[in-house]
Amino acid sequence: MNTQATPTASADETLAQPTAAVIDGKAASARLLKEVTAEVASLAQQGVIPGLAVVLVGEDPASQVYVRNKLKRTVECGMQSFEHVLPSETREAELLALVARLNADPEVHGILVQLPLPTHIQEDAVLEAIDPAKDVDGFHRMNVGALVQGADALAPCTPTGCMRLLRDTFAERGGDLSGLHAVIIGRSNIVGKPMASLLLAANCSVTQLHSRSQNPAELCRQADIVVAAVGRPNMISADWIKPGAVVIDVGINRIAQSAEQSPTGKARTRLVGDVDFAAVSKIAGAITPVPGGVGPMTIACLLANTLTAARRQSA
């Protein structure tokens, strides 16, 4: 084997390559859940057990997995969980009636209606029906407005989880987010838009890119912080990233995996993010993996929001 490094052929393999720190969302979520668990125990001593209701309409298998994970963590934290699984043909009026019952139930402090809902149900009608004090997803207009104004509100769990990972990453380097340029790719109500509000509140300069943006790669290359939330597997390639940037990958994309690639030898699906991890991790300063990045933080922040909601309702 030729070990003599010729400048062209083997530079990639033999020169020390800067490799991104992999941000451990599982560890960060375990730390947050430990804090939440301790505070749930102290609230329980005052006679209040935080309760989270999760409503799932339909049988989408991916949604069922998330709902099961949420309920498991809820119980592990010492909270009460209330699961409502309704058939996909449930009428909007029936769902609204369930939401009304949960709003009135003093044991329920947080309500999450899993999205997306079947197309015959108007999503925003359901979200607006949830008591804003119990809206642990932060999707009600009242909470969205409060977030945009920088007022105290229940903020959406995925962007809140991203902020925690970013704060920890910069704190480890002895800095903070203030003055940095953040580029968000995506403008959804559940991730992109609230992410912009949270980054602004942390004094970032914020650029929001979307499907109609011109020269997105060029704009993204100016970012100190990249938050990818588009839902397109491996869309963000290495040429979008400035060396040393911190990259948060919100994408959860299930793609087909061939039998040879699978650890079990069976053809299955596998999870990938919106970021081409293999390529970008050679350029970025730090990056979240998928799975094990943002996903676990989302659930931990949901339980932190439920604790906050329970405290406020019992004060």
Ligand X SMILES: Nc1nc(=O)c2c([nH]1)NC[C@@H]1CN(c3ccc(C(=O)N[C@@H](CCC(=O)O)C(=O)O)cc3)C=[N+]21
* Residues taking part in catalysis: 70, 114, 137
| 194 counts as binding ligand X under rule CB under 6 A | no
The neighbouring-strand residues paired with 208 are 184
Amino acid letter for position 93: A
| 98 counts as binding ligand X under rule CB under 6 A | no
Tokens of 189: 């109500």
**E strand or H helix at 225:** strand 225-228
Q: Site for ligand X (CB under 6 A): which residue of 112, 117, 183, 250?
A: 112
Nearer to ligand X, 224 or 249 (CB): 249
DSSP state, 236? B
30-38, 65-73, 225-233, 262-270 -> range binding ligand X (CB under 6 A): 65-73
Q: Site for Mg ion (CB under 5 A): which residue of 294, 299, 303, 310?
A: 294
Q: State in angstroms the smallest separation of the CB of 126 from ligand X.
A: 10
What track of x and - describes contact with ligand X for positions 129 through 168 (by CB under 6 A)?
--------x-------------------x-----------
Name the 3-class secondary structure at 258. Answer: coil
Count of CA atoms in the C-beta half-sphere (13 A) of 217: 7
For ligand X, which residue has the nearest CB?
295
Tell whether residue 190 is among the known ligand binding residues. no
SS (H, E, C) 80-118: EEEEEEECCCCCHHHHHHHHHHHHHCCCCCEEEECCCCC
> With CB under 6 A, what is the number of residues at the site for ligand X?
18
In 3D space, the residue among 303, 176, 295, 157 whose CA is nearest the CA of residue 246 turns out to be 176
In 3D space, the residue among 65, 83, 86 whose CA is nearest the CA of residue 74 turns out to be 83
Q: In what order do the strands lie in the sheet with 110-113?
A: 80-86, 51-57, 110-113
Q: Site for ligand X (CB under 6 A): which residue of 275, 296, 304, 305?
A: 296
Q: Site for ligand X (CB under 6 A): which residue of 133, 231, 292, 314?
A: 292
Nearer to Mg ion, 102 or 195 (CB): 195
Q: Determine the distance from the C-alpha atom of residue 41 to the mean position of all C-alpha atoms in its chain, rounded to a whole number.
A: 26
Residue 40 to residue 310: CA distance in whole angstroms: 9
Nearer to ligand X, 40 or 250 (CB): 250
Q: Site for ligand X (CB under 6 A): which residue of 153, 295, 304, 306?
A: 295
Tokens of 148: 């945009």
| 290 counts as binding Mg ion under rule CB under 5 A | yes
Binding site partner of 115, from Mg ion, ligand X, none, Cβ cut-off 5-8 A by kind: ligand X
Residue 126 to residue 288: CA distance in whole angstroms: 32
In 3D space, the residue among 151, 221, 155 whose CA is nearest the CA of residue 207 turns out to be 221
Binding site partner of 157, from ligand X, Mg ion, none, Cβ cut-off 5-8 A by kind: ligand X
Q: State in angstroms the smallest separation of the CB of 60 from ligand X.
A: 9
* Site residues for Mg ion per CB under 5 A: 290-291, 293-295
Question: Binding-site residues, please?
Answer: 186-188, 252
Question: Binding-site residues for NADP(+), please?
Answer: 186-188, 252
* Site residues for ligand X per CB under 6 A: 65-66, 69, 112-115, 137, 157, 252, 271, 290-292, 295-296, 298-299
